[in-house]
A and B are shown apart, each in its own frame.
Chain A
């Protein structure tokens, strides 16, 4: 649907200020042998279209639970999770997930992995191939289409996983600590690539991380979550111009500031233990 019909019965016409994604007082518990453990508690926030929001939280705070809810792989116990104002009821190719583990299929080549994602789209074989090549180029893997995953470095695997997620042209990308297992230099390069691709494609991105520096490096906004059960601790709007530089002192200062306010909120020791990367 590209045309906008003016039909009062069709509900509100989407406008740029309407959130792309929204969580309304979302709670989620997990059953354990020792009783239910709350992972998320009454969490609410919105993400605007084409916004890059970083969700900063300590390991095990329920960030992955949050992404699973947004992906539609899990349902909340209370509250609702909305995309374009409609409840998310299941997985959709409009919201692609990328995880810390690239999960490329080892029996397919890099291009085969990207093409695999396109198989259910009704594209012809030639179109799939062309599209796969296009996205491999976009992530800087143009000449590695015929390589199998084990022949790629960790960073290249994540680039390939990114190409696979992008190839379906979803409007939302959900990234679950995608660069956490990479060395600093490689993740710097991938931050640059992700920022460039985001600016080119205008995707709505939710990027989950436990690294303060990474969050302020990438995000338009940084939402900080507490330890389990996750509540919203603070929200920081990052006004630095793009493309940003990893070495920008303003960025380091902002990261330190975020960490300081976290320390004030939950105590310095806990902040240092739970969050990484404020230098």
Chain B
């Protein structure tokens, strides 16, 4: 409760500071709108339906892109973690490509897929899948060997070993990977939407810039941060707490 009060106070203070800065007119009001202006832009965006539509369009891309990245990344991570040959060959390539900012894929994506939905999805997947794979790979490699040994003496092997021992044993790492993948997917999506024609949140930012409408830029930024944070808190937070409780990782 105290934490909540402190947090509320912090954000109130931030708002006041923002308003003061805007009122002091250090910068032109067009370039630095106050919180009320931004609030107004948010309200108008929701009222005319453009924000909900943008949220839905971006949300759908994220759902597909992140979904594919999660499934593919977990599978790739499990393989890299357990198959020596793949680790020695594909492993270095994956960690190499993972360092590449996902926006670097956009030129190739546009040439291959045109300015299309597929191009944006490609960028999202390239940004998130490898991050998930690298995290899961690390998790699989740190599964205590005693679990594997124990499973072997109980006659567990093949798909059962993967599904019922290795996968659950790397669950904490998998969750970290999913969180990482989620934030990478967001970044890649915004980059992709900013640079190509689309209807998502990224293009709203772009429109704000084109119209010199800073309140819209701020409003959409708030919307993006809010949406990402909401999923983090509402989906990953409870999942993580559950794993920590069951495994006894809480301090």
Q: Which residues does A use to contact B, with CB under 8 Å?
A: 71, 73, 91-93, 95-97, 99, 101, 103, 105-107, 116-117, 119-120, 148-151, 164, 168
Give the distance to chain A from B163, nearest Cβ to Cβ, in Å.
11
- Of B146, B152, B154, B248, which one neighbours A116 at CB under 8 angstroms? B154
Say if the beta carbon of B40 comes within 8 Å of chain A: no
Q: Using Cβ atoms and an 8 Å threshold, which residues of chain A touch B246?
A: 106-107, 148
B247 touches A99 (CB 8 A): no
Say if the beta carbon of B165 comes within 8 Å of chain A: yes
Closest Cβ neighbor of B249 among chain A residues: A150
A91 touches B152 (CB 8 A): yes
Q: Which residues does B use to contact A, with CB under 8 Å?
A: 144, 146-147, 149-150, 152-156, 160, 164-165, 168-169, 171, 246-248
The 11 listed contacts between A and B (C-beta, < 8 Å) are A73-B153, A93-B153, A96-B153, A103-B146, A103-B150, A106-B247, A107-B169, A119-B156, A119-B164, A120-B154, A148-B246
A91–B150 Cα gap in the complex (Å)?
11
Q: Using Cβ atoms and an 8 Å threshold, which residues of chain A touch B154?
A: 93, 96, 116-117, 120, 164, 168
A119–B160 Cα gap in the complex (Å)?
10
Q: Using Cβ atoms and an 8 Å threshold, which residues of chain A touch B146?
A: 99, 101, 103
Pick the 4 closest A-B CB pairs, nearest first.
Answer: A150-B248, A103-B146, A103-B150, A107-B168
B248 touches A148 (CB 8 A): yes
Q: Using Cβ atoms and an 8 Å threshold, which residues of chain A touch B248?
A: 106, 148-151
A92 touches B164 (CB 8 A): no
A95–B153 Cα gap in the complex (Å)?
8
B160 touches A120 (CB 8 A): yes
Q: Using Cβ atoms and an 8 Å threshold, which residues of chain A touch B150?
A: 97, 99, 103
A92–B156 Cα gap in the complex (Å)?
10
- Of B147, B153, B165, B171, which one neighbours A97 at CB under 8 angstroms? B153
Closest Cβ neighbor of B147 among chain A residues: A103
B152 touches A107 (CB 8 A): no
- Of B147, B156, B168, which one neighbours A120 at CB under 8 angstroms? B156
A105 touches B165 (CB 8 A): yes
Give the distance to chain A from B245, nearest Cβ to Cβ, in Å.
9
A103 touches B149 (CB 8 A): yes
Give the distance to chain B from A86, nearest Cβ to Cβ, in Å.
18
Closest Cβ neighbor of A109 among chain B residues: B246
B160 touches A91 (CB 8 A): no
A92–B153 Cα gap in the complex (Å)?
6
Closest Cβ neighbor of A148 among chain B residues: B246
Give the distance to chain A from B160, nearest Cβ to Cβ, in Å.
7
B149 touches A73 (CB 8 A): yes
Q: Using Cβ atoms and an 8 Å threshold, which residues of chain A touch B156?
A: 119-120
A99–B151 Cα gap in the complex (Å)?
13
- Of A71, A93, A105, which one neighbours B169 at CB under 8 angstroms? A105
Closest Cβ neighbor of A170 among chain B residues: B153
Closest Cβ neighbor of A151 among chain B residues: B248
A80–B144 Cα gap in the complex (Å)?
30
A252–B156 Cα gap in the complex (Å)?
42
A99–B164 Cα gap in the complex (Å)?
21
Give the distance to chain A from B143, nearest Cβ to Cβ, in Å.
11
Give the distance to chain A from B175, nearest Cβ to Cβ, in Å.
12
A71 touches B247 (CB 8 A): no
A91 touches B168 (CB 8 A): no
Q: Using Cβ atoms and an 8 Å threshold, which residues of chain B touch A106?
A: 246-248
A103–B146 Cα gap in the complex (Å)?
6
Give the distance to chain A from B37, nearest Cβ to Cβ, in Å.
50
Known pairs A91-B155, A120-B156, A149-B248. 20 more at Cβ < 8 A? A91-B152, A91-B153, A93-B153, A93-B155, A96-B154, A97-B149, A99-B149, A103-B146, A103-B147, A103-B149, A105-B165, A106-B247, A107-B168, A107-B169, A120-B154, A120-B160, A148-B247, A148-B248, A150-B248, A164-B154
Q: Using Cβ atoms and an 8 Å threshold, which residues of chain B touch A149?
A: 248
